[in-house]
Amino acid sequence: MIVVAGSINADLTVNVARHPLPGETLLGTGGGITPGGKGANQAVAAARLGSPVALIGAVGKDANAAPATQLLADAGVDLCAVETLDDVTGLAVITVAEDGENTVMVIPGANAGVTVDKHAELIERAEILLLQGEIPAKSCERAVAIAQAAGVRVVVNLAPVIPVDPAVLFAANPLVLNEHEATLVAGQLGLEAPVTASDLVRAGVPSVVITYGADGATIADAQGSTHIPAASVKPVDTVGAGDAFTGALCHMLHERALLIDAARYASRVGAFAVTRPGAQPSYPWPEDELPELD
């Protein structure tokens, strides 16, 4: 089982011809609410591909709680550890330009109240614990401590990059970052930017995956580093593509795949996701045909 401790958001998406300049007002379209949040996105991505997944998280007592969890339930994610708190459900306001690039502003809401101690037994029964940066750092740190004591593999996608105890980074196998996040994590570890995946491994992280969008990804561990190409696709919406990659990566690791093979598959899943609008709605099921790598 993959246990994800992470965020659950309602995504408010606005489509624009281009992103506005500071102080500028543009007309847009859309305005619909879809489910999101990095934790929920990654849980859906892995579950749709066939992995058993449980989510530790929280929603608020508002109208957004139901749509935020709908596709989690549809994918078969175990939601027994999702609590309802006296707060609003996390909200992400997303603008998507015609070229597919996006900006995201996140209001944490109930995600700021996610704790893990009462769910320690669930973490201890997992094969993989997956974490991101949209829940409190202390909750991430406690979840890692529980997992390590039980011999559970830890995967960390520190997005967004929040200050965490270095023990979280050194427990990650792998640590999954995009190129911008890698620069910020380098600062936390006292490294000079720019850094490579191998630099982070030499600093003490067991294995690292750095994604570069259309330029693919690089993986590194003690045996060396390898570049993984991307698939050539026409992007429609890049929202949630990194989460599709990470969820697919964990799915393959749960299937006992080597990291290099898991990353190749994840790259194809991420490419599939950008060809469809939205985050969770764009993620493939096993019967979907994935693009081939270049």
Tell me whether residue 222 is annotated as binding. Answer: no
Tell me whether residue 278 is annotated as binding. Answer: yes
**Residue 226 CB partners (closer than 8 Å, separation 6+):** 218, 219, 220, 260
Tell me whether residue 190 is annotated as binding. Answer: no
**Residue 132 CB partners (closer than 8 Å, separation 6+):** 6, 7, 38, 39, 42, 156, 157, 158, 159
CA 154/CA 148 separation, integer angstroms: 8
Tell me whether residue 173 is annotated as binding. Answer: no
Catalytic residue among 165, 243, 288, 294: 243
Tell me whether residue 38 is annotated as binding. Answer: yes
Tell me whether residue 134 is annotated as binding. Answer: yes
Tell me whether residue 10 is annotated as binding. Answer: yes
Q: Note if 117 is an active site residue.
A: no
Tell me whether residue 39 is annotated as binding. Answer: yes
With beta carbons less than 8 A apart as the criterion, state whether 96 and 121 touch.
no
Tell me whether residue 212 is annotated as binding. Answer: yes
CA 235/CA 237 separation, integer angstroms: 6
Tell me whether residue 144 is annotated as binding. Answer: no
Tell me whether residue 87 is annotated as binding. Answer: no
Tell me whether residue 138 is annotated as binding. Answer: no
Tell me whether residue 208 is annotated as binding. Answer: no
Tell me whether residue 238 is annotated as binding. Answer: no
Tell me whether residue 211 is annotated as binding. Answer: yes
Provide DSSP, the chain: -EEEE---EEEEEEE-SSPPPTT-----EEEEEEEE-HHHHHHHHHHHTT--EEEEEEEESSTTHHHHHHHHHHTT-EEEEEEEESSPPEEEEEEE-TTS-EEEEEE-GGGGG---GGGHHHHHT-SEEEE-SSS-HHHHHHHHHHHHHTT-EEEE---S-----HHHHHHEEEEEEEHHHHHHHHHHTTPPSS--HHHHHHTT-S-EEEE-GGG-EEEEETTEEEEEPPP----S--TTHHHHHHHHHHHHHHTT--HHHHHHHHHHHHHHHHTSSSSGGGPPPTTSPPPPP-
Tell me whether residue 178 is annotated as binding. Answer: yes
Please give the annotated binding residues for ATP, written as ranges. Answer: 178, 211-216, 242-243
Catalytic positions are: 243
Please give the annotated binding residues for substrate, written as ranges. Answer: 9-11, 37-41, 134, 243
Please give the annotated binding residues, written as ranges. Answer: 9-11, 37-41, 134, 178, 211-216, 237, 239, 242-243, 273, 276, 278, 282
Please give the annotated binding residues for K(+), written as ranges. Answer: 237, 239, 273, 276, 278, 282
